[in-house]
Chain A
């Protein structure tokens, strides 16, 4: 079975640009999560979808971060406009929805904003 696929693996953007990160969850999974990972903050939840419905929009990340599920097998995370402080690894994860044991993460997209 294919795992969670994230593209691109690396992204470099200039300050003020719009970038779109992509995620394909595990087939058949109902829940999809976007996390931001930094050394200082660790893993922070950005968005959470259940059966394509937005359940959590990440509070502090609402203004420039927008996640969407275009269908059950594809999600995007748009950051607009980017700022240097957005430099981090962005992780997508999916789950059957039965509990964290079935949570599978992708390998992430490393974003660098200059």
Chain B
């Protein structure tokens, strides 16, 4: 079946470090790809999306580029801040009609001052 794999369960960085969280997917069709962020005590919230090969999504300094050949959508940020500490979820959606999201297992990012 369709799936999303996030290889890092936890990432610990210092402020101003460069961030990469890896996301790979497996899908029978041509999915749209998403990143969500979840702060403590809250539900996940939409960060950005990309719908086609080589498209870059971005928001709040985070970005990811859709790579169909590598089946990847890695999240990056050039300089993280303590306020970026949260859980990040990669997700895919296949249908534009009855769309549903398939989430990865999430990556806990902790940024130390």
Contacts and interface: CB of A to CB of B under 8 A. Distances in A.
B69 interface: no
A42 B104 contact: yes
Contacts of B103: 42-43
Interface stretch (A13-21, A69-77, A100-108): A100-108
Interface residues of A, number: 21
Interface of B: 32, 34, 41-46, 49, 89, 91, 93, 96, 98-101, 103-106
Contacts of A56: 100
A79 interface: no
B49 A48 contact: no
Interface in A15-61: 40-43, 45, 48, 50, 55-56
Contact of B99 (A4, A91, A100, A108): A100
Contacts of A99: 32, 93, 96, 99
A100 B43 contact: no
In this complex, the member of B34, B43, B99, B105 whose beta carbon has the largest number of chain A beta carbons within 10 angstroms is: B43
A78 B15 CA distance: 43
